[in-house]
Chain A
C-alpha cells in the first residue's frame, strides 16, 4: 500500500504565484524525499529532509516536515511555466522508497 498521499491531486496557478503541495504518511520515517516528473517519464530528485529536520531550502523550494502530524509540505515560490510537472513525495517505508500518487501542478503563463 502507498505510504504517502499528496494533496491536492491537481493544482493550477498563475506564473509568479507560490505553489504549496502537501504529503501525509502513515508510519514512522527516517527521511522524506520530493521528486518531480515531467510528462509521465523519469523522476528527478528535488530535495530530501531527514526526520530530525523541520525545514529545508533549496533555491525556490522550501520543504517542511512535521513528524508529529506525519506530514510534509513542498512550497515552490515565484512559480514559472517550466515548473509544470507532477510532484511526488517518497518515504522510506518497508521497501526502499514508497511514493505517493503525486500532485499535478500546472503553471499558467
Chain B
C-alpha cells in the first residue's frame, strides 16, 4: 500500500502570499499530524487530528496558520500572508489510532521557501 504522500514537494512563494500544503495519509489511519522543521532543527509540532475529535491546534505558531482534514482523510495546511520565517520543511505523518505508542509514518515533506 502507498505511504503518506505530500504535495507539492517544493514550494517557493513571495512574502505575503498564501500557500496550501496537502497531505494524503495512509488509508485507514485515523490520526494525522503536521510538523515543521527549520534547517538543522528538530521537529516542531503544529497540529494533530484524531478521528472526529476537535483537532489539537496547540502547536500552531500564529493565527496565520490553519489546517483542516476533510472526510477524515486528506489534510490541507494553509499559511496566510507568508513570512520569511515560515521557510521550513513541513512534514505530515499519520498513525493508526493516535495512541502515543503508535508508530508515526511520515511523508517526504514539503520544502517551503518564502522570498
- Residues of A near any B CB (own CB < 8 A): 2, 30-31, 33, 35, 40-45, 48, 50, 88, 92, 94-102
Contacts and interface: CB of A to CB of B under 8 A. Distances in A.
Given A2-B42, A95-B58, A101-B41, A44 B100 contact: no
26 contacts: A31-B100, A31-B101, A33-B103, A40-B37, A41-B89, A41-B108, A42-B106, A42-B108, A43-B106, A88-B42, A92-B100, A92-B101, A95-B48, A95-B58, A96-B31, A96-B33, A96-B45, A96-B98, A96-B100, A97-B33, A97-B100, A98-B45, A99-B42, A100-B42, A101-B41, A101-B42
B89 to A, nearest CB: 6
B89 A95 contact: no
A2 B42 CA distance: 9
A50 B41 contact: no
Interface residues of B, number: 27
A95 B43 contact: no
Interface of B: 4, 31, 33, 35, 37, 39, 41-43, 45, 48, 56, 58-59, 89, 91, 93, 98, 100-101, 103-109
A28 B48 CA distance: 21
A45 B37 CA distance: 17
A100 to B, nearest CB: 5
A88 B35 CA distance: 14
A78 to B, nearest CB: 25
Contact of A42 (B33, B56, B58, B91): B91
B89 A48 contact: no
